[in-house]
Copies of this chain bind each other. A is one copy, B any other.
């Protein structure tokens, strides 16, 4: 596979970065320092990092209510992300968006749209613009398993496939939409089969395996850049935490979650890197330590920065 050791270590680093970021965010939320809601990406790090590692800066992702991981995987800065989640002017969205609406255009994230499925049409339109302008960029809208049941999802895949647009539709199957198991919201086992409705490839990968996700994405991106149209990429993992920080999880057994923790993508990838000699465990320890430090200073940065000045309250309503 066309990816060197340094790149693999960087993938590992971003996975750890997401994990530590989410742990810090959940902690701040529980202590009341973050308002609104926090939807942790814990357990899905390999999906976002595998996908985004296959993208260029100019390629655009569209996120969801659960997009801290998507943004960090695409290269967003944890300090400005944390500042946003704390509602500070130094945040990516100057505190206007918060956890559910982080956009970072400078690193190719056109925004997290919290209405399930609503990022799909927008990503399709951005891909249309790339196609019309003769640019080779792709767009990558993320949705969850439950998001696949929205009208937006169907309309977006139909339109993108009809026009052969450069889109990679990433469907992150983490098994639940809030409390609803995907098995109780559809009548099929394999969501990738829905690609057939649009005459496009439907690919299903282990969403705990960052390298598998990466390789599948590389292929889909190549297809898209070559003008062969969209791909539906289903990454199957699991939401290891509650739907949101502090969510009671009355709908699933502790044992089910415990079982899934055995698939935690971070230690397993770490093992692969160490065993295959890509990096020594000392090197990986150093990565872990560096990330932890980065998160600590990100939180400090976020706390230290000011909230938006009330005189700016009506800015950005109109261009």
A residues at B contact (CB < 8 Å): 149-155, 158, 161-162, 164, 184-188, 193-194, 196-200, 229
Contacts and interface: CB of A to CB of B under 8 A. Distances in A.
A298 to B, nearest CB: 39
23 contacts: A149-B154, A150-B151, A153-B154, A154-B154, A154-B155, A158-B186, A158-B187, A161-B186, A161-B187, A162-B184, A162-B185, A162-B186, A164-B187, A186-B199, A187-B198, A187-B229, A188-B196, A188-B199, A193-B196, A193-B197, A194-B196, A194-B197, A196-B196
A301 B200 CA distance: 54
Contacts of A161: 186-187
A200 B187 CA distance: 8
Contacts of A158: 149, 185-187
Quickly give the copy total for this chain.
2
Residue in A150, A161, A186 with the greatest tally of chain B CB atoms within 10 Å: A186
Nearest to A195: B197
Nearest to A151: B151
Contacts of A196: 188, 193-194, 196-197
Nearest to A199: B187
Given A149-B158, A193-B196, 15 more contacts: A149-B154, A149-B155, A150-B155, A151-B151, A151-B155, A158-B185, A158-B186, A161-B187, A162-B184, A186-B198, A186-B199, A187-B198, A187-B200, A188-B196, A194-B197
Residue in A151, A164, A229 with the greatest tally of chain B CB atoms within 10 Å: A151
- The 4 A-B residue pairs whose C-beta atoms are closest, nearest first, are A151-B151, A154-B154, A161-B187, A187-B199
A183 to B, nearest CB: 9
Contact of A162 (B151, B155, B187): B187
A224 to B, nearest CB: 14
A272 B9 CA distance: 73
A162 B186 CA distance: 5
Contacts of A194: 196-197
Contacts of A162: 184-187
A123 to B, nearest CB: 16
Nearest to A185: B162
Contacts of A154: 149, 151, 153-155
A200 to B, nearest CB: 7
Contacts of A164: 187
A196 B187 CA distance: 10
A48 B37 CA distance: 51
